[in-house]
Structure 1
Amino acid sequence: MIQIALLLFGVEFVRSKFWILGLMGILWGSLGLGVMYDGLDGALYFPMRAFGLMLLLESIVTLSVASSGVGTQRAVLYFKGGIFFFVAVLILANNVYSHLLLAIIFGLTYFVIGLLTISSAWVVRFPHWRSSLISGGAQLAFAGLLVSPYPIALSATVSFFLGALMIVSGFNTVRIAHRVRRLRHGTSTFELLEPRDLLSDFKKLPPQKPLEARQEQESEFQDPLIVHIWTPEGTAGATTIPRPIINRYIAAVDAQGVISTGHAALELSPSVYLSLYPVADIDRSPAEFFRILKATRNNDVPGTFQPDYATEVANWCDSDRKIVFHHYSRRALIEFSNNYRQQATYNLTYRNCSSSVAFALEASMDGVLSERSRRWRSVLQTLLMPELWIAAQVRKRAMTMAWTPGLVMDYARALRVIVHPVPRPWFQRIPWRGASARTLPDKKQD
């Protein structure tokens, strides 16, 4: 979440505030260490009731604004608010049964996350997958520790769990601050997000001649940047079998057994159009399924970029979802596109149409909120936006498994809400504020 926020605030904000970020990470991690120790020594000083009340208030606010979300954002906010509400009630109940339930919930959560982390790392084999295996194993061990009667008392489960989260987040914040400190002048904060092997591929490319497009100045009135999504259900030739989550994020199967995986593209007319396809169809038979899921170099195949949106529509069909951005970095997007298009390599799980769009969109978001970063109040308001948390969760799942058109759609929608000012901030979109708090109905073009 911090990485996405730093990308949006821009390199000048990041370079000038990296020491504050590192100091906050150290203090936060140290406080987490104290909270965790509080759960080990048997004498609980952690203000459990106050924390339960704060969590209850946060869950009520989240549930209140969930109805104003778009698509999956609404479901995610309802899920987050419901879980937080249930946990807050158990904390405030403060009895043996509630403590036992909390230990089971926290332990089961870490067990499932650890199991998914290990499974996705072993199957997909994305870069640094061995580190993910170790991380998943640590999560499984922590899950077992939470549900065991020793060395943690049931009444201290919450403080131990919260302390561990604070330590991990503090360590990650310090690590990000260290990377920020090493950013070279003339670079962008996109380096904090893009995969390191992608960056190394760009460094190996021969220097390009100066292009006229690169000299374009950022103008106040820009052509819209459009993220095109062909959803699996929208591109199916017949009625699909109802499987909501699978149809949205993986593939849809119609009554005739035809599989549709969807597609994603990014358009900035007339300068950029990113739409990556494999030159030849990839064998998706069950016998080859696990082999082609691996994000390894031996699964790279020749790819091709479509020339423009009109050509793609003529050869196929119109996109059924369009997410439109009016605030973006035109120069950064053109530079990324010029570099990225020099290698037309396709990999089903690591360098596909969706990951190309996701990385290009992130490159275009570099510094779009630089004006907000000059006011600490605006910075805090941005950090507290529910959509920032949603964007971080979507990106985390995609980077540990694979980018799909459904994930790109959710990610782009969340970023658009953050980047574009809305008539009313999230805390004014609660239902009991009356008719003035109602939001506009959802549209296919966001």
Structure 2
Amino acid sequence: MGQIAFLLIGSESVRQRWFVMAGLGAFLAAAGGFLILDAQDGETLFPNGVLGFVFLLEGLFAILTALAGQVGVSRTISALKAAGLIVIGGLIIRYPDANTYILTVLFSAAFAIDGATRIGTASIVRFRNWRLVVAWGIFELMLALVIAADWPIPRAKNIHFCVGLLLLFSGWVLIRMSLMIRSLEPEAAILTLPMFGARAWYDHAPVLLGDDPHPKSSEAMVVRVWTPVGSADVANRRVVMDRYIAALDRNGTISTGHAALDLPPDVYISHYPAQEIEQSAGAFMNALRATADNDIPGRFQPSYEVERANWCDADAEVAFRNFNARRLRAFWIGYRQENTYNLTNRNCSVAVASALDAALEGTLASPYPWLRLLRLMCNPDLWVAAAIRAHAETMTWTPGLVLDYA
């Protein structure tokens, strides 16, 4: 979530006050380390009931996420997550010492499920640095075993241990981010920082030199999405699969949908494979790996008019008025130098999501960046966007994810 917040605020607003972020990170890391150490002996300075408010607050944010524009299954999943967090927080507050076993099972299951999911998706897609993701997943599985085994952390102190880990990791991220922003050149995009480079999607992040030769755009930037269901004749609906991954039409062909970004008159980002990928179920599974052997030549559509004439109208659109057209053009100039297409690493949705990030950098810049950051952290839409981005980074961007992200 911090990535998106700092992307919107921009590095220029934060660079001169980087030490504030570093100080906050150091405080959180110290607090987390203290809680972890405090959990290893028999006495704790912070009662479980106090820490229960952390889960309660997380649950309230999850409720806001569910109400912030989500529909259907997405809202149901967010609502269930919120209910679970609130129940856990309520149990900790009401019965701080009487739910040790239940909380141990919940914490252990959460780490185990997340770790197994990371290992599974990374092993299938095999994007750059996928082994690090697998290693992190293994660490989560080991952490689940430690929590369940009642050693070396006493079971009664699992709450302190888990909250401490959360604070320690958050503090480390803030310290790392502050040091990166301090050393970032003014001309470079914040997207060039390593924290955005896990999937190499921002290798073409803009570097701006000199004045902008283009006048300020009066046109809206429009994200156009052809959902898998909207662009195919689908017989049997599978709500989550159909929206976020792919749909199976009546002929047994897989439809993945499409995404494009349009800024008239000179920017239209629509990345296609030069030759249609075989869309049978077996071929589709083989193409999921983000390795170089699945790279194929691609092509760029010239305009929305040409695309709709050759195919069909997009069934969803999102328009933006507040964006940086110069950064968008700079990104597009770099991206289109290479037409390589990869189903899970350099597809149409990856191009659109990356271009959208480039165009929105610094759009919420403020002379008071920390107040802006606080407001953003309380914005449920940002929590939704962060969850979507995290999912995309573990698998890939799809038209459905791009639509929700936009």
TM-score norm. by structure 2 comes to 0.91
What is the identity, as a one-letter code, of the residue corresponding to 1:264? Answer: A
Distance 1:116 1:384, change over 3 A: same
Q: CA deviation at 1:341?
A: 1.0
- TM-score (norm. length: structure 1): 0.84
Q: Which residue of 1 aligns with 2:24?
A: 24
2:224 matched residue in structure 1: 228
Structure 1 pair 315/289, CA: closer, same or farther in 2 (3 Å)?
closer
Retained in 1: the 8 A contact 2:252–2:280? Answer: no
Letter in 2 for 1:381: R
Question: Conserved in 2, the CA contact under 8 Å of 1:275 and 1:306?
Answer: yes
| Bigger mean CA deviation after superposition, 27-36 or 290-299 | 290-299
Matches within 5 A, 1:204-353: 214-218=212-216, 222-237=218-233, 239-353=234-348
Aligned to 1:187: 188
SS of residue matched to 1:229: strand
Could you tell me which residue of structure 2 aligns to residue 380 of structure 1?
374
Shift of 1:293: 1.4
Q: What's the counterpart of residue 52 of structure 1?
A: 52
Q: How big is the shift at 1:257?
A: 2.4
**Structure 1 residues 195, 359: CA separation in 2 closer, same or farther (over 3 Å shift)?**
farther
- The more displaced of 133-142 and 348-357 is 133-142
Contact 2:14 2:369 in 1 (8 A): no
Other-structure match for 1:15: 15
1:15-51 superposed Cα distances (whole Å, 9 cap, x missing partner): 1122222222122111101111121112122232233
RMSD in angstroms over aligned alpha carbons?
Answer: 2.6
1:111 corresponds to: 112
Counterpart residue identity of residue 13, structure 2? F
Q: 1:389 aligns with which of 348, 360, 383?
A: 383
Q: Contact between 1:96 and 1:154, CA under 8 Å: does it hold in 2?
A: no
* CA–CA distance in structure 1, aligned partners of residues 283 and 335 of structure 2: 28
Q: How many residues align?
A: 403
For the structure 1 residues 320 and 328, does the alpha-carbon distance in structure 2 shift closer, same or farther, using more than 3 Å as the test? same
**58-67 or 299-308: bigger deviation:** 58-67
Match in the other structure for 1:175: 176
Call closer, same or farther: CA 1:247–1:211 in 2, change over 3 Å: farther
SS of residue matched to 1:169: helix
Q: Secondary structure at the match of 1:162?
A: helix
- In 1, the alpha carbon distance for the partners of 2:340 and 2:58 equals 45
Unaligned runs of 5+ in 1: 413-446
Contact 1:240 / 1:252 at 8 angstroms: preserved in 2? no
- Look up the SS of the partner of 1:346 in the other structure: coil
- Cα 1:211–1:5 change in 2 (3 A) is closer
Aligned CA distance change for structure 1 residues 40 and 240 (closer, same or farther; 3 Å): farther
In structure 1, the residue matched to 2:354 is 359
Q: Which amino acid aligns with 2:154?
A: A
Distance of 1:54 and 1:324 partners within structure 2: 36
- Distance in 2 (CA, whole Å) between partners of 1:383 and 1:92 is 24
TM-superposed CA distance for 1:3, in Å, is 1.4
